A and B are shown apart, each in its own frame.
Chain A
Amino acid sequence: QKEVEQDPGPLSVPEGAIVSLNCTYSNSAFQYFMWYRQYSRKGPELLMYTYSSGNKEDGRFTAQVDKSSKYISLFIRDSQPSDSATYLCAMRDDKIIFGKGTRLHILP
C-alpha cells in the first residue's frame, strides 16, 4: 500500500458545481496536510495547508482532515473553468509525500 493514495481522475463537473477531491493515507505520523494546484507544464502552487484534524476555509476552498479515518478532502465551491487543473494532496512527517494528483475539468 502506498503511503498516499489519490484517484487520478479525470473528474469532469459542470461550472458552478461543488467539487470534492480526496486522499487517503497510511502513515499516522503525518501532521501537516497540504493541497497543491498544478496547471499543465507548470510547477505546483500551494493552495492550503492544515495542521492535524479539522477544517480550514479560504474563499471558495475548504480543506478537511479526518485523522481517525486517515482521510483528507478539498472542496471547491462555485467551481470555475479556471479551476481546471491537477490537484495534488501532500502530507508531511519528516519530508513531504505527494499523491499522484487528480485531474479536474470544469465544463463551461
Chain B
Amino acid sequence: DTGVSQDPRHKITKRGQNVTFRCDPISEHNRLYWYRQTLGQGPEFLTYFQNEAQLEKSRLLSDRFSAERPKGSFSTLEIQRTEQGDSAMYLCASSRGDSSYEQYFGPGTRLTVT
C-alpha cells in the first residue's frame, strides 16, 4: 500500500510528558500537512511543509509543538509538556505541490493525555 502512514496509531501519555508522532507521505508528494481533529469537529490546520521547508504554521501551534521534515520525506510532530487539552486525533496529509486541494490523509494518531 502506498498511501500515507502514521505511527503510532494510538498514544496514551500522562500530562507533562513529551510525545512524538511520525508521518510517512505518499512518496511522490512534496507537500506534507499536519492537522488536529477533536470530536465533532473537522480537521484544523496546524502546519505544512514543501519538501523540507516549513512554510506555514497555524496560531494553534503553540511553542510546545514542533514539526520537522528533515530530508523532505517523512515528518515528525513533537508535543512537549503535554496537557489534557492536547488530546485529539493528529492527522497527516500529503499532496503534490501543484494540487494542494487534493490532499490524501493518513489514518491518524489518537492522543489521549491523562
Contacts and interface: CB of A to CB of B under 8 A. Distances in A.
B106 interface: yes
A60 interface: no
B110 interface: yes
Interface stretch (A14-22, A44-52, A70-78): A44-52
B107 A8 contact: no
Interface residues of B, number: 22
Q: Which of A95, A96, A97, A99 has the most CB of B within 10 A?
A: A96
A96 B91 contact: no
B40 interface: yes
Contact of A98 (B4, B44, B106): B44
Interface of B is mostly: loop
Interface string B90-114: 0101000000111111111010000
A45 B42 contact: no
Contacts, number: 52
Band of interface residues on A: 20 to 34
Contacts of B105: 36, 43-46
Interface in A39-86: 41-46, 49
A96 B41 CA distance: 14
A100 B41 CA distance: 4
B42 A90 contact: yes
Nearest to B42: A98
19 contacts: A8-B40, A32-B101, A41-B110, A42-B107, A43-B105, A43-B106, A43-B107, A43-B108, A44-B105, A90-B42, A92-B100, A95-B48, A96-B45, A96-B103, A98-B43, A98-B44, A99-B42, A100-B41, A101-B40
Interface of A: 4, 6, 8, 32, 34, 36, 41-46, 49, 88, 90, 92, 95-101
Given A41-B110, A45-B105, A90-B42, 12 more contacts: A34-B101, A43-B4, A43-B91, A43-B106, A43-B107, A43-B108, A44-B105, A46-B102, A96-B103, A98-B44, A101-B40, A101-B42
